[in-house]
Structure 1
Amino acid sequence: MEFFMSVDVSLSDKLLEILYFVIGLIAIYVAIRNLNDKTNEKRFGTFIFWFLLGLMFVIGKWIPPMATGVLMVLMVLSPIFKQVKAGNEPSPTPEEMQNNYKKIGYKVFVPALSIGAFALIAALFTTISPIFGMGVGVVFGIILLMLFSKENTPKVFLNDGRRMLDIVGPLSMLPTLLAALGAVFTTAGVGDVISGLVTNIIPEGNVAFGIIVYAVGMALFTMVMGNAFAAITVMTVGIGAPFVLAYGADPVIIGSLALTCGYCGTLCTPMAANFNIVPVAVLEMKDDYGVIKNQVLIAAIMLVVQIIMMIVLS
């Protein structure tokens, strides 16, 4: 309670901890459901993964970093040894989906759009984190769906949440781990190493060439890390700041477009699991890289266009 009563902690941070606590409880619920699922032959490994993940969300703020690291290592052992498997949570039948469509129709998109809307409201009009705004949007969407149909009870959302997490599995943690990896790379001085490597490649004072290397580097490094937010810190320290921004380029234009260049890399990598691998699992596609194959050409075109924009506008 000391954390939540402290005047030194912002309201946004307090609300985020509440959100993380709820997320942790949901993960623990998934763990318990899988443990009790006798049809899942890997239920113990599945339980360990989801329980430890939920535990870190619930108490991670108040335990030493070393303890968090130990829990993290123990958590990933289950996926490493392939001991995490989706449980038996029945999917809606075609008849159920058809009946729900007749009852709700296109109004079903309103709850989904509310998630983004609340995130934008939080970002643009408050000092509260957009992440918490997304959480509020989820709650608002649940309330709307319950109003749309009396069959949408809390149990339905819990069971469908468990089914979705089971389908995604350990990949659900990849974006978080990759974002943390970006911070580790920056602290370790990877940006300085990259800067030293490209010093002999980029002619001194040639901003246009520096922009090209920066943009392409953002796309490639994002492909490696799977997360443009993680890549931009390292690449800006290593290339953007010394070879582009130091010569008077507009940081707002360069920074925003460099991030979207990174997104071009996101479209081309299995490391961006939430974009390119999770849809394969959810849609039960036969080709594991089907999503990526359909995005590569678009990504290449977007990258070229954005490089031109960076050169012209900066």
Structure 2
Amino acid sequence: MTSATFWDNLLELFYVLIGLQLAYTSYKVFTDKQNSKRIGSGLFWLDLGLLFALGKVLPTVISGLLVVCLGIITIFNQFEVGKFASFSMDHLLASAKRYRNWVFFPVLCLAVISMLLAKFIPGSSKVAIGLAAVIGTGFAWVIFKGSAKATMAESDRMIQAMGTSGVLPQLLAALGVIFSLSGVGTVIANAIGGVVPEGSRFFGVVAYVLGMVIFTAIMGNAFAAFTVITAGIGIPFVIANGANPAIAAALAMTAGYCGTLLTPMAANFNALPASLMEMKNPYGVIKEQAPMATVMILVHIALMYFWAF
């Protein structure tokens, strides 16, 4: 077995594990008699679990039909987020005093371990986050005296709390690919070509960063913007002028997140918090984030210009 095959198989294993967790959530929803729409909600999670666990072997037509079924369930309002018992505030305060900053350790493991794996073990980047999650979960069990049962229960709670928005990253990433294949990137490249001076690294960088910010603001997510803007602006106007592809692409993605801070289309980040906190101004979160987002846009332009070349 080659190294590439090993990492591909391990990646597929993680997809299967996610599918099994979603299937468990489906079972919990089906048996939740307090959920008035448990049939539709359970089918939603079971459908998504099948896509994750069997996506590699399912015929494309079947996968497409399963995705359509997800849409049908939500269109006909047959999905409902489950209700969970609230935690005791006294218990939470006692746990906070007991564990203090150790509560952050498993989460920090995700970032640190995934970065180390991707940097020092060739080919592991595609599964680095999955491996880091497994290791971080192990640390959590040791620190908090956890168990597999508790982990599954809390994973189920988190999945149900996210609701249908949990599939948004996958849908937006697919949308970006569709836009790219349909030629949107070529249209953008032709439009930018008439504005950006040929061979200008600086204006190419400005166009790449601002393109990511604006398109992310329109789409509500940087995943959808990345494929289109990189194909239409990044490759012909930045990378073709000698920029390091890895550095330029990484900075372009984080530049897109600046657009996320500025748009109500990013409902999970901007509209939902304003609603939950009952803010008078529904755009209050965006208003507070806008100055920092503007500064970070300028920082990204500088970093890409001086670091990528």
Which category of TM-score, normalised to the shorter sequence, fits these structures? 0.7 to 0.9
- Which residue number corresponds to residue 60 of structure 1? 55
Q: Which letter maps to 1:242? A: P
Change (3 A) 1:77 1:107: same
Which residue, out of 180, 190, 201, partners 2:195? 201
Distance 2:284 2:8 in 1: 39
| Cα shift at 1:241 | 3.0
Write the mapping of 1:129-278 to structure 2, written as runs, cut at 5 A. Answer: 129-130=124-125, 132-150=127-145, 152-248=146-242, 251=245, 254-272=248-266, 275-276=269-270
- What whole-Å deviation, never above 9, does each CA across 1:131-181 have from its counterpart, x for those lacking one? 53322333333333332344x333222222122111110111111111122
Q: Please tell me the residue identity of whatever aligns with 1:268.
A: L
Contact 1:24-1:58 within 8 A present in 2 as well: yes
Match of residue 25, structure 1, among 5, 16, 20: 20
Q: Which moved more, 1:180-189 or 1:23-32?
A: 180-189
- Contact 1:174 1:273 (8 Å CA) reproduced: no
Are 1:89 and 1:159, in contact at CA under 8 Å, matched by a contact in 2?
Answer: no
Per mean C-alpha deviation after superposition, the further-off stretch among 243-252 and 193-202 is 243-252
Q: How far, CA to CA, are the matches of 1:88 and 1:244 in structure 2?
A: 49
In 2, Cα distance between equivalents of 1:87 and 1:268? 31
2:67 corresponds in structure 1 to: 72
**CA 1:131 to 1:8, structure 2 compared with 1: closer, same or farther past 3 Å?**
closer
Q: Deviations over 1:8-61 (max 9, x none)?
A: 961111011111111111111111111111111111121111110001111111
Corresponding residue pairs, total: 306
Matched to 1:50, the amino acid is W
Check 1:9–1:301 CA distance in 2 against 1; reply closer, same or farther (3 A cut).
closer
1:286 is displaced (CA, Å) by 2.6
Provide the alpha-carbon RMSD of the alignment.
Answer: 2.7
1:182–1:234 contact (8 Å) kept in structure 2: yes
Aligned to 1:88: 83
What is the CA–CA distance in structure 1 between the aligned matches of 2:11 and 2:246, rounded to whole Å? 28
The C-alpha deviation readout for 1:256-290, integer Å capped at 9, x for no partner, is 43333222112223544665567x39x94334655
Post-superposition Cα deviations, 1:165-221, rounded to whole Å, max 9, x if no partner, equal 111101111111111222222222211111122233234444433332222111111
| Residue identity in the other structure for 2:167 | M
Change (3 A) 1:304 1:22: same
Shift of 1:91: 2.9
Task: Letter of the 1:261 partner, please give it.
Answer: A
Worse-superposed segment, 72-81 or 133-142: 133-142
Offset of 1:113 from its aligned partner? 1.0
Q: Give the TM-score, by structure 2 length.
A: 0.87
CA contact (8 A) 1:122 1:128 kept: no
TM-score w.r.t. the length of structure 1 is: 0.86
* CA distance in structure 2 between the partners assigned to 1:8 and 1:106 by the alignment: 38
Unmatched 5+ residue regions in structure 1?
1-5
Deviation at 1:226, TM superposition (A): 3.6
Cα distance in 2 for partners of 1:142, 1:251 equals 33
Q: In structure 1, how many angstroms separate the alpha carbons of the residues matched to 2:50 and 2:181?
A: 27
Q: What SS is found at the alignment partner of 1:85?
A: coil
Letter in 2 for 1:18: L
Counterpart Cα distance in 2 of 1:149 and 1:140: 14
The SS at the match of 1:231 is helix
- Identify unmatched segments of 5+ residues in structure 2: none
1:286 to 274, 278, 293: 278
State whether residues 81 and 160 of structure 2, in contact with CA within 8 Å, keep that contact through their aligned partners in structure 1: yes
Partner of 2:120: 125
